[in-house]
A and B are shown apart, each in its own frame.
Chain A
Amino acid sequence: DQQVKQNSPSLSVQEGRISILNCDYTNSMFDYFLWYKKYPAEGPTFLISISSIKDKNEDGRFTVFLNKSAKHLSLHIVPSQPGDSAVYFCAARGDHNTGNQFYFGTGTSLTVIP
């Protein structure tokens, strides 16, 4: 049973525009959320995180928004650059009952068109 879902397997955006990647989760006990970026044949690279006590975290061109009532988080990339083309995974951390295990979404492949 997939507890973290990314319903869009792919997304194409023009360079300079905003990219919005979405992620939904089912477990209200998740307390920490992350986004990873993955290039082909490489491991995931940590991008940005957000604690459940916040609703927004910003780092340069990357902003993560958390809507706890909707169990939804999103990653905004502004402005999008061709080098942002990669697969983006969201992840959510369970509580101590799960050993603080992280659950990953299935990924969204972002293509930024020059």
Chain B
Amino acid sequence: DTEVTQTPKHLVMGMTNKKSLKCEQHMGHRAMYWYKQKAKKPPELMFVYSYEKLSINESVPSRFSPECPNSSLLNLHLHALQPEDSALYLCASSQLLEDTQYFGPGTRLTVL
């Protein structure tokens, strides 16, 4: 089973809202990732967790706050977003940091 699940599938929020994106995998992977993807662009790495510890933070604004409650779950807390943050947010996981990454279906986020 190489499934990574993400909820919600779609999210529309205002600039003053607080919302969270969720990602789950049950493959026993110890590395998990958040990517942001705009149309016709490659996925951009945002955060990397390895063994539930934040490993890489690619200079992402503080209005995005990741959380890894356990080895299967990864959250992305959103607060005071801007319209330009509208994108497809992808979660991925891999056995270890250097291994093949498996992606979830993504959350399509629209900020009004």
A interface residues, Cβ below 8 angstroms from B = 4, 9, 32, 34, 36, 41-46, 49, 89, 93, 99-102, 104-107
Contacts and interface: CB of A to CB of B under 8 A. Distances in A.
A104 B97 contact: no
B11 interface: no
B81 to A, nearest CB: 21
A107 B40 contact: yes
Contact of B42 (A34, A45, A100, A104): A104
Contacts of B48: 99, 101
B40 A46 contact: no
12 contacts: A4-B42, A41-B106, A42-B106, A43-B92, A43-B103, A46-B100, A89-B42, A89-B43, A99-B55, A101-B56, A102-B101, A104-B43
B98 A42 contact: no
A91 to B, nearest CB: 8
Contact of B4 (A36, A43, A99): A43
A15 B48 CA distance: 40
Given A41-B105, A43-B105, 20 more contacts: A4-B42, A9-B40, A34-B100, A36-B103, A43-B4, A43-B90, A43-B91, A43-B92, A43-B104, A44-B43, A44-B103, A89-B43, A99-B56, A99-B97, A101-B48, A104-B42, A104-B43, A106-B40, A106-B41, A107-B40
A32 B99 CA distance: 9
B108 interface: yes
Contacts of A32: 98
Nearest to A5: B42
B68 interface: no
Interface in B78-112: 90-92, 97-98, 100-106, 108
Interface in B1-52: 2, 4, 6, 40-43, 45, 48
Contacts of A93: 98
A89 B90 CA distance: 14
Contacts of B40: 9, 106-107
Interface in B51-75: 55-56
Contacts of B2: 46
